[in-house]
Amino acid sequence: MVICLISHLFSHSIIGTSLENKIIGLYSLGMSYNDIRDHIDEMYGFDISQGMLSQITDKIIPEIREWQSRALSPLYPIIWMDAIHYRVREDGAVTNLSLIHISEPTRPY
């Protein structure tokens, strides 16, 4: 009964949509279902089943598949950047300075 009520709340309320978006956001950050369940329980005080999490996260599978199969650009520019950070005494005070080096690759990759 409780799972049916939670399912009804998820599909028919603004709070449900907001919580679904939060779950999808947590999932996109790489959190496991168990971590998401623990987070929802800690933040909102109720347990959510792994099946419910699967139903929510499965909604973004078509978008993931579309992104994975997108056409790639034939050329991607590469720029190498590096910096050396050092401390310098100037006028009796110590300041941090950086020497930044930017270059392009010398051979095509």
The predicted-structure confidence for 26-60, as pLDDT tens digits, reads as follows 988 889 999 999 999 998 888 888 888 998 889 88
Q: How far apart are CA 53 and CA 48, in angstroms?
A: 7
- Its pTM stands at 0.51
| pLDDT, the chain, mean | 82
Model confidence at 109, in pLDDT bands (50, 70, 90)?
A: low
Domain boundaries, the chain: 2-68
Both structure tokens of 64: 């993931």
Q: How far apart are CA 43 and CA 66, in angstroms?
A: 32
Is the pLDDT at 94 greater than 60, yes or no? yes
3-class secondary structure per residue, the chain: CHHHHHHHHHHHCHHHHHHHHHHHHHHHCCCCHHHHHHHHHHHHCCCCCHHHHHHHHHHHHHHHHHHHCCCCCCCCCCCEEEEEEEEEEECCEEEEEEEEEEECCCCCC
